[in-house]
């Protein structure tokens, strides 16, 4: 099977393309399963995020994808999820969201250590070892809730670092994240948006060869995630094939689908 569970929509303000365009691109790219996991809304009172849907956008997200799931039934298996941080401030809200039945799954994308109302984007903080430790601790707290199906770009802490900056603090963070994911039965994601940026000369720091080489003794399941912000990324079979090639070269065989319980 060819499955991707990490797909965004233009509601997050940094993706492009209509919902149906992603589905058509996934079919053209040979996908059997497509999961949407746009950035989860949070019940902020005054703060307005520019990188995620609002609470007012959420009903349209659900309605649109439910309609398209029926329209493309038999052509593509479609699941509705969210990519979400673990914010201790909003832990109760997150649990209610996960248990509401509105979405099929959550994936953990730890972009902030707590609500972006109060804390900055985590990647610049990871230039320092203390920031790397904070990132790992937040990932582990999130995974231990049992609310998430897998962890997106676990090597995000390498975004502001060079490969030769993968030091002891990075090793500890990588090991602890992967051991926790394995204990929780959560795959770790090899992120193709990051790979695409590297192939085009931009570079995001992840996927990090140093990370993936180091965690081989500690990692459980691995999954490919397109992290699509443009429909073209789903129809780009060369990007998917390059991701598989690199994972195999690193000694990993990714899972080809998530086991569904709903």
Residue 200 lies in a domain: yes
Residue 257 lies in a domain: no
Range of the domain at 81: 3-250
User: Above 90 in pLDDT, residue 261?
Assistant: no
In the structure, what pLDDT confidence band is assigned to residue 204 with cuts at 50, 70 and 90?
Answer: confident
Give the Cα separation of 103 and 154 in Å (integer): 22
Annotate 81-112 with b (16+ C-beta within 10 A) or e (fewer): bbbbbbbeebeeebeebbeeeebbbbbbbbbb
User: Above 70 in pLDDT, residue 185?
Assistant: yes
In the block, residue with structure tokens 């902020």: 44
Domain count, the chain: 1
Residue 22 lies in a domain: yes
Over range 193-212, report the average pLDDT: 94
pLDDT the model gives residue 231: 98
| List of residues 6+ apart from 58 with CB closer than 8 A | 41
Name the more confident of 153 and 202: 153
Residue 9 lies in a domain: yes
Residue 213 lies in a domain: yes
Residue 256 lies in a domain: no
Q: Over the stretch 205-220, which tens digit does the pLDDT of each residue have?
A: 999 999 999 999 999 9
54 φ/ψ angles, rounded to the nearest 5 degrees:
-90, 170
- SS3 of 59-90: the string is HHHHHHHHHHHHHCCCCCEEEEEEEECCCHHH
Residue 255 lies in a domain: no
Q: Give the tokens for residue 103.
A: 């979405």
Q: Over the stretch 75-98, which tens digit does the pLDDT of each residue have?
A: 999 999 999 999 999 999 999 999
Give the angle 152-107-134 at the CA atoms, nearest 5°. 60
Write the CATH number for 208.
3.20.20.140
Over range 160-184, report the average pLDDT: 98
Half-sphere exposure of 10 (CA within 13 A, CB side): 10
Q: Give the tokens for residue 246.
A: 């690199």
Question: For the whole prediction, is pTM greater than 0.75?
Answer: yes
Q: Give the tokens for residue 255.
A: 């899972």
pLDDT the model gives residue 262: 45
Residue 261 lies in a domain: no
- SS3 of 6-38: the string is CECCHHHCCCCCCHHHHHHHHHHCCCCEEEEEE
User: Above 50 in pLDDT, residue 241?
Assistant: yes
Query: What does the mean pLDDT of the chain come to?
Result: 96
Q: Over the stretch 44-54, which tens digit does the pLDDT of each residue have?
A: 999 999 999 99
Give the Cα separation of 81 and 228 in Å (integer): 14
């Amino acid at each position: 099977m060819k499955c991707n569970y990490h797909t965004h929509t233009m509601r997050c303000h940094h993706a492009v393309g209509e919902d149906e365009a992603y589905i058509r691109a996934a079919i053209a790219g040979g996908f059997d399963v497509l999961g949407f996991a746009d950035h989860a809304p949070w019940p902020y009172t005054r703060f307005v995020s520019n990188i995620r849907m609002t609470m007012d956008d959420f009903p349209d997200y659900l309605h649109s994808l439910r309609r398209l799931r029926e329209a493309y039934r038999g052509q593509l298996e479609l699941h509705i999820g969210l990519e979400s941080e673990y914010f201790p401030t909003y832990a109760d809200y997150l649990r209610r969201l996960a248990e509401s039945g509105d979405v099929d799954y959550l994936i953990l994308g730890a972009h902030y250590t707590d609500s972006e109302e109060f804390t900055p984007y985590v990647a610049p903080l990871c230039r320092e070892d203390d920031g790397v430790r904070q990132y790992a601790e937040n990932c582990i707290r999130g995974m231990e809730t049992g609310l998430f199906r897998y962890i997106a770009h676990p090597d995000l802490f390498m975004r502001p670092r060079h490969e030769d900056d993968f030091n002891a603090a990075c090793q500890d963070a990588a090991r602890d994240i992967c051991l926790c994911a394995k204990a929780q039965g959560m795959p770790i994601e090899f992120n193709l948006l990051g790979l695409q940026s590297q192939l085009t000369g931009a570079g995001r720091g992840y996927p990090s060869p140093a990370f993936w080489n180091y965690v081989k003794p500690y990692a459980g399941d691995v999954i490919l995630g397109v992290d699509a912000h443009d429909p073209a990324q789903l129809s780009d079979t060369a990007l998917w094939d390059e991701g598989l090639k690199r994972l195999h070269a690193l000694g990993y065989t990714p899972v080809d689908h998530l086991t569904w319980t709903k």
